[in-house]
Structure 1
Amino acid sequence: MTMWRIGSTVIHKVLEADLAVRPTAALRTDDTALLKRYPWPAPDFSRADGTFVLSVHGLVVDTGARRILVDTCVGNARPSVPMLQMLNTTWLDDLTALGYPPESIDTVVCTHLHFDHIGWNTRLVDGKWVPTFPRARHLVTRAEWNHWADEAGAGLRDTMQPLIDEGLVDLVETDHRVAGGVRLEAAPGHTPGQVAVVVESGEERAVITGDLVHHPVQFIEPDVPSLADTDATLAAATRRAFVERYADTGTLVIGTHFPAPTAGFLRRGGDGGVRFVVDGRR
């Protein structure tokens, strides 16, 4: 498990699974040399055999006053999800061991509604899907909810409907303030209502990316889409704006799908190009 301090706020990563995948399993590109052109994140993010590691994890943002869980991974016993069917992991036990049992979480932020971000919203108990975090408000942007509500076969029956039935879902705007020092930031393109999550405390700031990127190479080549981007042009514009906003600002960028060390800083070089630096220095 990995932890970062942003002022007085603590962010914990809770890993569910790491997957070694070919670029084409996550990125919409035929460029087999793409990762080899940018060796700077290796070996953490790119491997010599041409694969890279895709991490599935949740992030606890503990402000002291609030316990906020950003994304809830795939979950156990899901029969129809790609690559990760019928998991039986210790993710919920690991979360509890960190000091965050399910009943202590007061807010769940769904950056978007893809299966690998909302799976632990519910768990299977005696053959029935029930809310995992029964005391938490579950935040979904209105734009995201409306998109999936209009999509046939959205697959939200098991992960979202039990929350709706219990009155645990709040539809919010993409600039919603979650708590003091924690706010949402619109990051559309991968899905229409996706958000990043900005955490600020004292003079320090971090941003959790959501799926606006799946690999750091997309910061330097923003036109490379993620495989599941619903609007590739908009997603590329979102990536460009993200780099402009956060490069050389000392903002810690925490990748929602980046394996360990997971977080780093966007820095521009003398040629104007950007790198994702994980050496721990601001």
Structure 2
Amino acid sequence: MDAVYRIGGFTVYRVVELVAPLRSAFEMLPSLTRECLEENRHWLQPHSLGPNDIFSLTYQSYIVRTPHHTILVDSCLGNDKPRLEPEWNMKTDDNFVRGLAAVDVTLEDIDYVMCTHLHVDHAGWNTRLVDGRWVPTFPNARYIFGRRELESAKTRYAKGGYPSYANGVLPILEAGRADIVEDDYQIGDYVRLLPTPGHTDGHVAFCFGKSVDAAVMTGDLLHVPLQIRYPELSFSRDKDSVQSALTRRSFLEHFCDTPTLCCTAHLPSPSVGRIKRWGDGYRLLPVGCA
């Protein structure tokens, strides 16, 4: 954890589980041109773009303390889970739990776990392995799943896909800890759901603030900073790349030049800032910068 943000009567903490290289720029962003990468290399290196033009991603959760609840947004990678990426596979480290402890949060303190979507790197710590069984990591929490996202994941799981459903979602459903919500979901006047489809069918962002959007958690609407500068650059793993690009530009335009704190899931530290205009695109200006 390396930042605390107090805004709008609540507090946001970052809990970083892992920073690791993922894919080359051209694998991640299929429509990226060599000319575009060269034009932007000077500001992408070294924090986002590494050797051999491979993007590094941050894997993190956000803890939000409102006057009424302690909320976890996206639960990172998790331990003991078979995954295709070497850095994710069968992890046994204590980075995530230590990150919670650093902000004086216990597993029992979490009132809600909110998933922007159900991919393996956003639902991993939904559960933990205890005596050979997957059990809810946060025993007192309600887990918030969007109905469209859940139905899509369930369909893919039935066809032999979506590994996070088996060990990060199904145990929550079986334990009776899930709330299946619609697009107009909110908790009081501090928490609201914002549909942001494209990366997955039911991908959502979460907005926080008393009647206004003081902070927003983006999930996988954004993976690398270049997508803020050029919203049309969709990630190769987006289910609908056209929809993803449209959603991204709409989102960035909506929050551009506003006080809303934009909390990204995978961008390099500090990962949090405010959206500002940059030519035909945008940039994320870290809090505290002019």
TM superposition score normalised by structure 1: 0.92
- For residues 33-182 of structure 1, the aligned pairs below 5 Å read 33-38=35-40, 39-40=42-43, 42-47=45-50, 50-83=53-86, 84-90=88-94, 91-151=96-156, 152-153=159-160, 154-155=162-163, 156-182=165-191
2:254 alignment partner, SS class = helix
1:46 & 1:201 partners in 2: Cα distance? Answer: 37
2:44 & 2:83 partners in 1: Cα distance? Answer: 33
- For residues 260-275 of structure 1, the aligned pairs below 5 Å read 260-269=269-278, 271-275=279-283
How many Å apart are 1:176 and its aligned residue? 1.2
2:206 & 2:12 partners in 1: Cα distance? Answer: 12
How many Å apart are 1:52 and its aligned residue? 2.9
1:114 alignment partner, SS class = coil
2:212 & 2:155 partners in 1: Cα distance? Answer: 42
How many Å apart are 1:20 and its aligned residue? 2.4
How many Å apart are 1:78 and its aligned residue? 0.9
- C-alpha RMSD of the superposition: 2.1
Aligned AA (1:20): P
1:15 aligns with 2:16: yes
Native 8 Å contact 2:149 2:202 kept in 1? yes
Gaps of 5+ in 1: none
How many Å apart are 1:198 and its aligned residue? 1.0
2:209 alignment partner, SS class = strand
Alpha carbons of 1:203 and 1:164: their partners in 2 closer, same or farther (altered >3 Å)? closer
Native 8 Å contact 2:126 2:136 kept in 1? yes
Native 8 Å contact 2:231 2:281 kept in 1? no
Match of 1:28 in 2: 30
Equivalent residue pairs, number: 281
2:123 & 2:18 partners in 1: Cα distance? Answer: 15
Cα displacement string for residues 110-129 of structure 1 (whole angstroms, at most 9, x for unaligned residues)? 10010000011110111111
Native 8 Å contact 2:60 2:76 kept in 1? yes
1:126 & 1:261 partners in 2: Cα distance? Answer: 37
TM superposition score normalised by structure 2: 0.89
How many Å apart are 1:30 and its aligned residue? 5.3
Cα displacement string for residues 24-56 of structure 1 (whole angstroms, at most 9, x for unaligned residues)? 453334534544423445543334753332010
1:120 & 1:142 partners in 2: Cα distance? Answer: 20
Match of 2:251 in 1: 242
How many Å apart are 1:274 and its aligned residue? 2.2
Gaps of 5+ in 2: none
2:147 & 2:108 partners in 1: Cα distance? Answer: 25
2:67 & 2:129 partners in 1: Cα distance? Answer: 30
